Amino acid sequence: MDSKAGSRYPEVYAGWKRDPEGFWAEAAKSIDWVEAPKKIFDKDAGVYGRWFPDAVCNTCYNAIDRHVKAGRGAQNAIIYDSPVTGTKRAFTYAELQAEVTTLAAMLKDFGVGRGDRVILYMPMVPEALFAMYACARIGAIHSVVFGGFAAKELATRIDDAKPKMILTASCGIEVARVIPYKPLLDEAIKLSTHKPQDVLLLQRPQLEASMITGRDHDWGALLAAARRDGKTADCVPLLATDPLYILYTSGTTGIPKGVVRDNGGHMVALHWSMKNIYGIEPGEVFWAASDIGWVVGHSYIVYAPLFTGCTSILYEGKPVGTPDAGAFWRVCAEHGVAALFTAPTAFRAIKKEDPNAKMLAGHDLSKFRTLFLAGERADPDTIQWAEKILKVPVIDHWWQTETGWTIAGNPVGLGQMTVKYGSSSVPMPGYDIDILDENGKPVGPGKMGSIAVKLPLPPSCLPTLWQQDDRFHESYLAEFPGYYKTADAGFRDEDGYVFIMSRTDDIINVAGHRLSTGGMEEILSAHPDVAECAVVGIKDELKGEVPCGFIVLKTGVNRHPSEIEKEVVALVREKIGPVAAFKVAITVSRLPKTRSGKILRGTMKKIADRDAWNMPATIDDPAILDEIATALRGRGLGI
Ligand code: COA
Ligand code: AMP
């Protein structure tokens, strides 16, 4: 099959490979620089080199001010659509500029400036976006923490980022439930060693939060005062290599990794992606149905659509339940969405509630051209169902928090290539991918291996982990010298299509959210009655995977195992947060291990998933696997 017929992809990819610096120098011309890059890549700077090392720029200027200057002031930049509060509001580029310049001035009044960190623990409200742009405007480094994380996770991030200030809101809203944020924040600050000087709190009408005198400040009151005084702040010239943000993501231990994104490379790659990968033109409406706490939200709610002069949708709701499975179609029709980007799990949720897509009826999707899926493996069933009901191309693409944009995809802007179900298609310019065996040697087509990207990584990819060059090197670069280890495993076919099959570490993907089973095991082992434990991700029809914990109780514990199981479930919710979706803990008398003592998590997962499995040659006692299968039965897992 000629999968590339009609697409410009092969020539563009080959062009990049021939002259990577020339490719990115050309792409960089789409950005308004204070000082344009003279040097495109410095291979001797940073851990593996740095992009645009001598350029000076400002991300907020490129997202907002330049469009106002160019005559887009009256066009909507952000449409906030919040079925959970019954609110819709649009902000034009000019209005957004006014909001952001005022908030930036407020932050400066708190002494926040270039290089200072600001943590945002906020729901999906416009003020969260204003805050991200305001930080970018004055050179402060934002770090957004997803609202579904518990106090302890927030505390870990506070201690790592050491923010001068935290921005928060009184509550988030989960369908019909109001989730108070302030008690979680207060608890996190109590737990953390680093104490931020100030907290700026947005009181939402659904819930009023209490304030700590001296530390906490009322967002609304300060905003009114700043507006009255006509305060504004200009864009600060920054080095392209200055950090724009830190976004924490699960690592292989309970300690999250602070992925650093710089200003210049991020703008260049994301701007390139909008036209060439997503096929979107300035003025069109782009909707990433994600959360600003995740990388998809950062890149494709907050930044890329605005770099391109598009309208971005900020949706505070769910695919189902707010109020029903027709919510996505309503939003697409009402706002004239041209492209929707979400996780497959959202479509599985819609398909479950409305299998025949009856709720699509009456919605005018004539502007809707493409559905993009990422965040987890897109199962062929879901893709085919979406294709059938929407009658538009459904494009799977693969990326990571670390990269900030597509590693492999099907670039509709360059001309769509054949969709192969189960594959996220082909590497984007910037990414030279190899599939490696255990010895780091590339394997041929159809052979599974570790997926690695040849260094240097392209613009937008992390230059390092926040203040941890060594950990960056150790986690990503050490195992396969000359490569970045993606920690995903998979294969490539004869046409060069990439198939992402699993992770090579302990990360699982729950409803598109990335979580460390190692982090959960640390919590289970800390329970006083638990001797040892193992957490594995098991198949789930809706969320792709959910965690399942196996616990072995200490000798002499004579409480009922179900009580302890409930306690460990509650502990994970308390320590990591509801986002972990940890609902099943199962007591077993022992765990299956190899003779050298390694827990056989992979085999346990296969048993739970009812996949074919072979008895591991090195197993200590094969009878234990039967015990695991017996324990799994009758636990509501369909086993
Ligand atoms: N603040 C507080 N709690 C939150 C939260 C937030 N921002 N986001 C999620 N939670 C809670 C949920 O209420 C739920 O709590 P519960 O255990 O009390 O029910 C828990 O965290 C798990 O959330 P989630 O995994 O989102 O499951 P869900 O059952 O609420 O919704 C989907 C399932 C599929 C509808 C939902 O995951 C979804 O819309 N996914 C879309 C894709 C997406 O956002 N992907 C991210 C990367 S692109
Ligand atoms: P995150 O950093 O949260 O975006 O998660 C990144 C991880 O999600 C990747 O390393 C993959 O394991 C998985 N992932 C993301 N997109 C895809 C995809 N299109 N297909 C398969 N897995 C994916």
Q: Residue-wise over 375-411: b if at least 16 C-beta within 10 A, else e?
A: bbbbbeebbebbeebbeebbbbbbbbbbbbbbbbbbb
**E strands, 41-164, in order:** 41-42, 50-51, 56-57, 76-82, 87-92, 117-121, 141-144
* pLDDT surpasses 60 at 519: yes
Average pLDDT over residues 178-196: 98
Domain boundary among 317, 341, 358: 317
Flag whether 99 is in a domain.
yes
Q: Tally the residues of the chain.
A: 639
Residues 6+ apart with CB under 8 A from 487: 450, 503, 504, 505, 507
Which residue has the least CA distance to atom 10 on ligand 1? 148
Give me the amino acid identity at 636.
Answer: G
In a domain, 609, yes or no: yes
Q: Measured in angstroms, how far is the CA atom of residue 232 from the centroid of ligand 2?
A: 40
Q: Is residue 106 part of a domain?
A: yes
Confidence of residue 256 (pLDDT cuts 50, 70, 90): confident
Task: Give the ligand 1 atom nearest the CA of 124.
Answer: 7
> What is the rounded average pLDDT for all residues in the chain?
96
CA 22 / ligand 2 centre spacing (Å): 29
Higher-confidence residue of 250 and 416: namely 416
* In a domain? residue 129: yes
Q: Which helix (H) or strand (E) holds 586?
A: strand 584-587
Arithmetic mean of pLDDT, 319-325: 97
DSSP symbols for 7-36: -SHHHHHHHHHH-HHHHHHHHGGGS--SB-
Q: Which pLDDT band holds residue 4 (cuts at 50, 70, 90)?
A: low
Q: Is 317 in the pocket of ligand 1 (CB under 6 A)?
A: no
Lowest-pLDDT choice from 246-255, 527-536, 583-592: 246-255
174 lines ligand 1 (CB under 6 A): yes
- Considering the chain, what percentage of its residues have pLDDT values greater than 90? 93
**DSSP per-residue string spanning 470-487:** HHHIIIIISSSTTEEEEE
Residue 252: pLDDT above 70? no
Q: Is 282 in the pocket of ligand 1 (CB under 6 A)?
A: no
CATH of the domain at 289: 3.40.50.12780
pTM for the full predicted model: 0.95
Separation of CA 346 and ligand 1 centre (Å): 10
Q: What CATH number is attached to the domain comprising 538? A: 3.30.300.30
Tell which of 291, 317, 343 closes a domain. Answer: 317
Structure tokens given for 344 = 């497959």
- pLDDT for res 163: 98
Nearest-angstrom CA–CA distance, 555 and 544: 35
* Domain count along the chain: 2
Q: Count Cβ atoms within 10 A of the Cβ of residue 567 and give its class: 0-12 exposed, 13-18 middle, 19 or more buried.
A: middle
Q: Where is the domain boundary, 285, 317, 349?
A: 317
576, 532 contact by CB (below 8 A): no
What is the position in ligand 1's atom list of the atom closest to the CA of 342?
48
The residue range of the domain holding 556 is 507-633
